Amino acid sequence: MNVVKVLVAAPLHEKAIEVLKNAGFEVVYEEYPNEEMLIELVGDVEAIIVRSKPKVTRKVIEAAPKLKVIGRAGVGLDNIDIEAAKEKGIKVVNSPAASSRSVAELTIALIFAVARKIAFADRKMREGVWAKKQSMGIELEGKTIGIVGFGRIGYNVAKIAKALGMNVLLYDPYPNEERAKEVGGKFVSLEELLKESDVITIHVPLIDATYHLINEERLKLMKPTAILINAARGAVIDTDALVKALQEGWIAGAGLDVFEEEPLPKDHPLTKLDNVVLTPHIGASTVEAQMRAGVQVAEQIVEILKG
């Protein structure tokens, strides 16, 4: 019997490794190899598992004659050459639902952090400044949250927002009225959502239609008291326009986990503003999400290879 070899090319939760080993596969582990090394490693493997890196390029795929499946533990597939895989009949699987709750919880955390000036207050405390007066915030109960993109993550955010006593407005090109009912949400136009919401949070994929969806014109529609949150993809918001909006007070504040350029360059204008909270793309960075992402991909790979 030939042992099936699986290359794990990124850190993976031990439970996911267990799933592969229990299926009788031989697991080869190499953390984030570069392309050259990856090409050397894939000669006899039937499956590769990656996270947001390394890149599985056409060259890598062509160097792997036995490859049947590529797994991405996580959401996007930007680092896999889907076309090259398709041409060779190689399946590509991922775990889109694994991090939904984690991203939703970070979104709520960012809302609170901006609404109650938590990061600002913490910074001042460390500087030895008792900034009680400058740390006046707002309550979320009774406020309106506008959720742009009502998929898995948007739904989770709405569920928590409803529990906080917020009014829920929704915008999605494919409205799911039944799911909206569950969270007491109401579908409106994007323009109405931007005008009426106290908190606006973005949960759309980055595609041509959503590039700079939130631009200068749309930022100007928002209330001067509005808080804007982005834990989706950086380029959904026009960064230059957002900096201007925050500097000139078109909106009150922002919480950002994603950026047009990642890592965010040192001394970026956003880092100079006190009314913005920044995190380094950690939406899916929880123990639970990483475990689910790994296990879900491992299970799909077992299913495909065991056929």
Evaluated on CA atoms 85, 90, 91, 95, the torsion sign reads: negative
- Domains in the chain and their CATH numbers? 5-95+287-306 (3.40.50.720), 99-278 (3.40.50.720)
262: left (phi over 0), alpha (psi -120 to 50) or beta: beta
Strand partners of residue 256: 230, 278
Q: What is the number of other CB atoms lying within 10 angstroms of the CB of residue 204?
A: 21
Strand partners of residue 253: 227
First to last CA, the chain: 16
One digit per residue, the tens of pLDDT, for the chain of length 307 reads: 689 999 999 999 999 999 999 999 999 999 999 999 999 999 999 999 999 889 999 999 999 999 999 999 988 788 999 999 999 999 999 998 999 999 999 999 999 999 999 999 999 999 999 999 999 999 999 999 999 999 999 999 999 999 999 999 999 999 999 999 999 999 999 999 999 999 999 999 999 999 999 999 999 999 999 999 999 999 999 999 999 999 999 999 999 999 999 999 999 999 999 999 999 999 999 999 999 999 999 999 999 999 8
Q: Single out the residue of 221, 167, 141 nearest to residue 189, CA to CA.
A: 221
Q: Which helix H or strand E contains 69, and what residues bound it? A: strand 69-72
Which residues carry out catalysis? 233, 262, 281
Reported pTM: 0.90
